[in-house]
Amino acid sequence: MYTKKLSKKMNKQLNNELYSAYLYLSMSSYAASIGLKGAANWFMVQYQEEMVHAMKFFNYINSRGEHTELAAIAAPPTEFVNLLDMFQQTLAHEQFITSSIYELTDLALAEKDHATHIFLQWFVTEQIEEEENDRDLIGKLKLIGDNGQGLLLLDNELATRVFVPPPTAAA
């Protein structure tokens, strides 16, 4: 059953996803400001994906007969040491998101809300990819170290990432 307790936690996750979007928007701006246009693109695509995640929660809450409780979105950091720092912070944040999705999944099961449990499975799978991408990029950046040419090559790779919109606004 979709209880008030579960809905409150779903609202919190909606806020978490909006914060994720805000965090990556900030990183995109910072990357552009230090000349890394490819990284700026990568984080902009990440921002767009997070908005899709947020809207999935937004639409789901309404589909269960509740309404959203939109809360203030915390301000993200605006200064970073370098690209490695940005991806290390990204991985740490995604690990936090994974644990919050797991907590929600545990609660959905405890409340015997199978529909919400199924809804959350998409996020459980998505988080594997989110963390894996960050770990791969951290590994590459550690190999690159202070090599400027390597950084520019990686930046070119990050420039190729494209946002693929979901088939429907609710997806």
Binding positions for ligand OFO, rule: CB under 6 A: 17, 20, 50, 53, 94, 97, 130
Residue found by looking up tokens 């007969």 in the block: 65
Residue with the CB atom nearest ligand OFO in the bound state? 20
CB of 91 to ligand OFO, least distance (A): 10
How far are the Cα atoms of 11, 21, 36, 55, 103 from residue 96, in angstroms, in the given order? 16, 14, 26, 19, 11
Please name the residues in contact with 36: beta carbons below 8 A apart, sequence gap of 6 or more.
83, 151, 155, 158
* Residue closer to ligand OFO, measured from CB, 82 or 95: 95
Least distance to ligand OFO, CB of residue 1, Å = 26
C-beta closer to ligand OFO: residue 96 or 112: 96
Minimum Å gap between C-beta 104 and ligand OFO is 12
Residue placing its CB nearer to ligand OFO in the complex, 22 or 150:
22
Question: What are 85's two structure tokens?
Answer: 């720092």
Question: Least Å distance between CB 130 and ligand OFO?
Answer: 5
Return the exposure string of 7-41: e unless at least 16 CB atoms fall within 10 Å of the residue's CB, then b.
bebbbbbbbbbbbbbbbbbbbbebbbeeebebbbb
- Nearest CB to ligand OFO, comparing residues 49 and 151: 49
